[in-house]
Amino acid sequence: MIKLRLKRYGKKREASYRIVAMNSLSRREGRPLEELGFYNPRTDETRLDVPGIVRRLQQGAQPTRTVRNILQKANVFEQLKSGVSTESTSTAEPASQS
């Protein structure tokens, strides 16, 4: 199973995390399938590759509890729901206007 989870890096007591897609059986610092973002808990800085995250979620990847909270704060799940509906309507709208 593919999971969206945090991969720790940085110095002792100055940890930062990368949000990655990994096999659920891989170790924490193992090789990720794809890096999808960055999270710094000390400054609360977050950078996300939203299209990549949405694509992985549509493919069935399961976020961990912490990653789910980060994605909810960034409204990624809202974009996931609206992205699915707008893709289906956007292909139909230009055809009806032409």
Q: Write the secondary structure of the chain as one string of H (helix), E (strand) and C (coil).
A: CEEEEEEEEEECCEEEEEEEEEECCCCCCCCCCEEEEEEECCCCEEEECHHHHHHHHHCCCEECHHHHHHHHHCCHHHHHHHHHHHHHHHHHHHHHHC
pTM attached to this predicted model: 0.75
**What is the residue range of 35's domain?**
2-86
Q: What is the CATH number of the domain that holds 28?
A: 3.30.1320.10
In a domain, 39, yes or no: yes
Percent of the chain predicted with pLDDT > 70: 84
pLDDT in tens, the chain (98 residues): 899 999 998 999 999 999 999 998 888 777 889 999 999 999 989 999 999 999 999 999 999 999 999 999 998 888 878 765 444 333 344 444 44
Q: Of the candidates 58, 47, 49, which has an alpha carbon nearest to the alpha carbon of residue 80?
A: 58
1, 4, 7: which is closest to 23 by C-alpha? Answer: 1
Tell whether 96 is covered by a domain.
no
- 74 domain-assigned: yes
